[in-house]
């Protein structure tokens, strides 16, 4: 279970993200969660910023390996439209049987969790055969100039952000996973993607 390496990050995460949500990301989070139905698993739920945006879920199970983040997420469970279970777990070894969830959701986390390919495999294992994945991730931009900025920014950012890899080609990793991307939206800079995938 992660403790010290990014406890500072846990403390200041909401300080950075809540204003970001107010001025833009909120809409993205709403889209991420809007069509998550049935039994929903959110990978690396962090401080639970998505929790208020689930409208069609019957149950939300949120996992994270950082107890500080989960403690903050508890405070947001009262804003939920559905029951929420928060579980301390490593996304690379999910403590759930095969085929347990209708929808798997991941946001801003495949960049941080080590071995994102293994995480995508685990998500596929615990999803039902007709289940879906909904994702919102920052990625390496296909634009060379933006990607070069990401490369320069990466070493510092990784140290202050709890291991986030600013220049990781998460879209490529996703496309090489068991998930088939069904629809995808890219920001103007190409540094943010959002969409859904099926098995």
Ligand X SMILES: C[S@@+](CC[C@H](N)C(=O)[O-])C[C@H]1O[C@@H](n2cnc3c(N)ncnc32)[C@H](O)[C@@H]1O
110 binds ligand X (CB under 6 A): no
128 binds ligand X (CB under 6 A): no
- Which CB sits closer to ligand X, 65 or 196? 65
- Which CB sits closer to ligand X, 129 or 155? 155
- Whether the Cβ atoms of residue 1 and residue 88 lie closer than 8 Å to each other: yes
The two structure tokens encoding residue 46 = 């962090």
Give residues 67-96 in contact with ligand X (rule: CB under 6 A): 69, 90-92
Number of Cβ within 10 Å of residue 80's Cβ equals: 17
- Which CB sits closer to ligand X, 45 or 104? 45
- How far apart, in whole angstroms, are the C-alpha atoms of residue 6 and residue 113? 12
Plot region of 12 (φ>0 → left; ψ -120 to 50 → alpha; else → beta): alpha
- Whether the Cβ atoms of residue 27 and residue 89 lie closer than 8 Å to each other: no
Give whole-number Cα distances, 55 to 23, 24, 79, in Å: 21, 20, 11
User: Count of residues binding ligand X (CB under 6 A)?
Assistant: 18
113 binds ligand X (CB under 6 A): yes
In the stretch 31-70, what mask flags binding to ligand X with x, by CB under 6 A?
A: -------------xxx--xx-------------xxx--x-
107 binds ligand X (CB under 6 A): yes
181 phi and psi angles, rounded to 5 deg: -70, 125
- Which CB sits closer to ligand X, 144 or 160? 160
Residue nearest to ligand X (CB): 46
112 binds ligand X (CB under 6 A): yes
Nearest distance, CB of residue 23 and ligand X, angstroms: 15
> Could you tell me the strand order of the sheet in which 192-198 lies?
84-88, 57-64, 38-43, 101-107, 127-138, 192-198, 180-186
Region of 33-41, 102-110, 144-152, 183-191 interacting with ligand X (CB under 6 A): 102-110
Q: What are the residues binding ligand X (CB under 6 A)?
A: 17, 44-46, 49-50, 64-66, 69, 90-92, 107-109, 112-113
């Amino acid at each position: 279970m992660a403790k010290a390496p990014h406890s500072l990050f846990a403390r200041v995460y909401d300080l950075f993200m809540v204003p970001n949500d107010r001025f833009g990301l909120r809409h993205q989070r709403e889209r991420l969660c809007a069509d998550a139905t049935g039994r929903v698993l959110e990978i690396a739920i962090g401080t639970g910023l998505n929790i208020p945006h689930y409208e069609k879920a019957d149950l939300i199970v949120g996992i994270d390996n950082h107890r500080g983040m989960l403690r903050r997420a508890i405070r947001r469970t009262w804003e939920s439209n559905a029951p929420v279970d928060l579980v301390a777990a490593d996304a690379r070894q999910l403590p759930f049987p095969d085929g347990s969830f209708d929808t798997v959701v991941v946001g801003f986390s495949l960049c941080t969790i080590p071995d994102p390919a293994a995480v995508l495999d685990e998500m596929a294992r615990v999803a039902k055969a007709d289940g879906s994945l909904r994702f919102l991730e920052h990625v390496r931009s296909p634009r060379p100039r933006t990607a070069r900025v990401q490369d320069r920014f990466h070493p510092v950012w990784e140290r202050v952000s709890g291991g986030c890899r600013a220049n990781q080609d998460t879209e490529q990793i996703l496309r090489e996973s068991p998930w088939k991307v069904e629809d995808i939206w890219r920001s103007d800079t190409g540094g943010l993607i959002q969409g859904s995938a099926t098995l």
